[in-house]
């Protein structure tokens, strides 16, 4: 019976995404299909409705048929692409192939153009596909009259879908600035949408997250307790980050504190090698990858992208920059646990020799096992970020002030094997300490460094001084170009200035 139910989930989620895929090849430019499973069928029972939502998460980490599973880490915004793009743009890493791989090289050098923005186009397309899927769930549940779909389930699934929509828009607006705010799958309403001011996009993000927080369950909605579907705390975590970005420091401190104080569910892993395991207590939300792809095996998409095929002597696709490596203090165990090196002196590439690479995930193509249980899931939110959110908000005038900020930074530093910061740091020094700890704690994760440089006004001074980014073309590169294909399809869209 359990096998039969699992088969139903797989079939329904596959059908649901097939419906979405045929409807959303562009931003929102294709009318709804008439030859596939209908919304009424998808949301006729709780099993089918849950399967539809589960299918959204599956595509977020495994991609869809448009993208080879092997390359999903470089193709889907939520499966590693944001990490790679942000890492290259911010200078915390570079691609080993250098100018031989132009799609990545233009990010490393901050020289994107409207016809040299392949990865940015992929981020746009896959984020809007995910938004389309979330909107389909929201509208499908609202339209369903099925008695088998309980009100509690309707609220919980709608909350999940609103969270996913907010999550996707958070990355879109931080990558592209003003973006069309599509809140429906109605082709007639969305086909000619202009760009929505970022402030309004953020207002919608906050509204969606508050609804999600109010309606999602406290516990994780999986029978085995895995943290692979978001719960109330997941919405709170993204709210904490959004409040920080908006400068709403009182709210940021409150949201982060809610999670930090929930010691029954969350806690920092004392062993840094356990942080990215699937059973990590530090994880607030993870995405669960497939283990049935012959090349990906049981690795996360990022593990596949970052780890060399042959350890010790093989080349790694992405190399950590000297600018990042020099920031680690002597004795910082994050350097020991989360980076590794390979001696590829005999390899052919732009940077032969000993190079360092991110190794937060330990399973890649060289040591993965096809069909084996995954030991690591892809971590989206974790508790350490909440300490850093609270520290930065407090340092900028939020409750607790610099004393709270220093205390929170010391929690993170202790876990990394480092000593306390001086208690008499000035406000300016505390802010600098926050930036440093964010850089060494969150490197090679979800574009944090890229977003941090931009939102704190440090991007120009830091990036324009990097050798690889010379000559600096201009600060307009801090936003990626809107895909040309979208502007051609919708003449109400405008390009970011400078492109």
DSSP track, 347-413: S-SSS-SEEEEE-SS---TTT--TTSPPSB-EEEEEHHHHHHHHHHHHHTT-TTHHHHHHHHHHHHH
Write down how long the chain is: 499
Assess whether pLDDT exceeds 90 at residue 390.
Answer: yes
Which segment of 56-65, 242-251, 275-284 scores lowest on mean pLDDT? Answer: 56-65
Mean pLDDT of 317-326: 95
pLDDT band at 70 (very low <50, low <70, confident <90, very high): low
Assess whether pLDDT exceeds 90 at residue 445.
Answer: yes
Mean pLDDT of 70-91: 95
Mean pLDDT of 342-347: 76
pLDDT band at 316 (very low <50, low <70, confident <90, very high): confident
pLDDT for position 466: 96
The angle, 0 to 180 degrees and rounded to 10, between the axes of the packed helices 151-176 and 46-62 is 20
**Torsion from C-alpha of 35, 38, 42, 44, nearest 10 degrees:** -140
Do residues 236 and 215 lie in contact, with contact meaning Cβ atoms separated by under 8 Å?
no
pLDDT for position 269: 98
**Torsion from C-alpha of 234, 235, 238, 239, nearest 10 degrees:** -140
In this structure, the number of other CB atoms found within 10 A of the CB of residue 206 comes to 18
pLDDT for position 10: 38
Q: Which helix (H) or strand (E) holds 492?
A: none
CA distance 123 to 379: 19
Backbone angles phi, psi at 340, to 5 degrees: -145, 170
Assess whether pLDDT exceeds 90 at residue 24.
Answer: no
pLDDT band at 343 (very low <50, low <70, confident <90, very high): confident
Angle at 167 between CA 165 and CA 170, to 5 degrees: 110
pLDDT band at 175 (very low <50, low <70, confident <90, very high): very high
Assess whether pLDDT exceeds 60 at residue 27.
Answer: no
pLDDT for position 15: 46
Assess whether pLDDT exceeds 90 at residue 137.
Answer: yes
- Looking at residue 195, the DSSP 8-state letter turns out to be P
Which segment of 2-11, 341-350, 476-485 scores lowest on mean pLDDT? Answer: 2-11
Mean pLDDT of 364-368: 91
Q: How confident is the prediction for the chain on average, in pLDDT?
A: 90
CA distance 297 to 161: 29
Match 């809107």 to its residue by tokens: 482
- Looking at residue 74, the DSSP 8-state letter turns out to be G
Cis bond leading into 285, ω under 30°? no
Compute the chain's Rg from CA coordinates: 22
Mean pLDDT of 259-280: 98
Assess whether pLDDT exceeds 60 at residue 481.
Answer: yes
pLDDT band at 23 (very low <50, low <70, confident <90, very high): very low
Assess whether pLDDT exceeds 60 at residue 382.
Answer: yes
Output the six-digit token pair for 315: 């080349």
Assess whether pLDDT exceeds 60 at residue 262.
Answer: yes
CA 57 to chain centre: 12
Assess whether pLDDT exceeds 50 at residue 106.
Answer: yes
Do residues 327 and 392 lie in contact, with contact meaning Cβ atoms separated by under 8 Å?
no
pLDDT for position 461: 97
Which segment of 31-40, 200-209, 373-382 scores lowest on mean pLDDT? Answer: 31-40
CA distance 60 to 55: 9
End-to-end alpha-carbon separation of the chain, Å?
57
Mean pLDDT of 14-28: 50
Domain ranges of the chain: 301-376
């Amino acid at each position: 019976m359990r096998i039969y139910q699992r088969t139903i989930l797989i079939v329904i989620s596959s059908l649901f995404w097939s419906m979405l895929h045929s409807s959303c090849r562009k931003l929102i430019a294709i009318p709804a299909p008439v030859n596939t499973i209908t919304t009424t069928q998808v949301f006729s029972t709780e099993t089918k409705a849950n399967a539809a939502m589960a299918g959204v998460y599956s595509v977020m980490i495994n991609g869809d048929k448009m993208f080879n599973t092997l390359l999903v880490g470089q193709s889907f915004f939520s499966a590693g692409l944001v990490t790679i793009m942000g890492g290259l743009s911010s200078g915390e890493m570079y691609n080993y192939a250098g100018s031989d791989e132009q799609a990545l090289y233009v990010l490393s050098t901050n020289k994107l153009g409207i016809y040299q923005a392949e990865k940015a186009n992929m981020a746009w397309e896959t984020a809007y596909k995910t938004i389309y899927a979330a909107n389909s769930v929201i509208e499908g549940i609202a339209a369903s009259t099925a008695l088998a779909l309980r009100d509690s389930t309707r609220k919980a699934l709608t909350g999940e879908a609103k969270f996913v929509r907010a999550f996707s828009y958070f990355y879109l607006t931080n990558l592209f600035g003003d973006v069309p705010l599509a809140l429906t799958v109605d082709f007639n309403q969305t086909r000619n949408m202009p760009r929505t001011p970022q402030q309004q996009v953020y207002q919608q993000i906050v509204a969606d997250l508050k609804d999600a927080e109010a309606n999602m369950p406290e516990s994780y909605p999986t029978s085995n307790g895995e943290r692979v579907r978001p719960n109330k705390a997941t919405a709170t975590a993204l709210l904490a980050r959004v409040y920080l970005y908006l400068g709403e420091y009182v709210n940021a401190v409150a949201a982060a504190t809610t999670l930090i104080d929930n010691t029954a569910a969350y806690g920092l892993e004392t062993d840094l090698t356990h942080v990215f395991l699937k059973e990590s207590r530090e994880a607030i939300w993870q995405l669960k990858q497939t283990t049935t792809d012959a090349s990906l095996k049981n690795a996360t998409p990022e593990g596949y992208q970052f780890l060399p095929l042959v350890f010790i002597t093989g080349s790694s696709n992405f190399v950590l920059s000297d600018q990042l490596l020099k920031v680690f203090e002597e004795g910082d165990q994050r350097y020991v646990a989360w980076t590794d090196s390979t001696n590829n002196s005999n390899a052919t590439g732009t940077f032969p020799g000993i190079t360092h690479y991110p190794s937060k995930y330990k399973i890649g193509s060289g040591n993965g096992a096809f069909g084996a249980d995954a030991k690591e899931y892809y971590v989206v939110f974790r508790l350490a970020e909440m300490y850093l959110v609270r520290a930065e908000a407090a340092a900028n005038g939020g409750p607790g002030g610099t004393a709270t900020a220093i205390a929170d930074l010391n929690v993170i530093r202790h876990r990394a094997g480092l000593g306390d910061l001086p208690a008499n740091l000035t406000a300016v020094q505390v802010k600098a300490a926050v930036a440093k700890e964010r850089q060494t704690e969150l490197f090679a994760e979800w574009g944090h460094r890229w977003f941090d440089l931009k939102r704190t006004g440090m991007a120009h001074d830091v990036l324009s001084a990097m050798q690889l980014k010379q000559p600096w073309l201009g600060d307009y590169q801090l936003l990626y170009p809107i895909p040309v294909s979208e502007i051609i399809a919708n003449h109400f869209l405008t390009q970011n200035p400078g492109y």
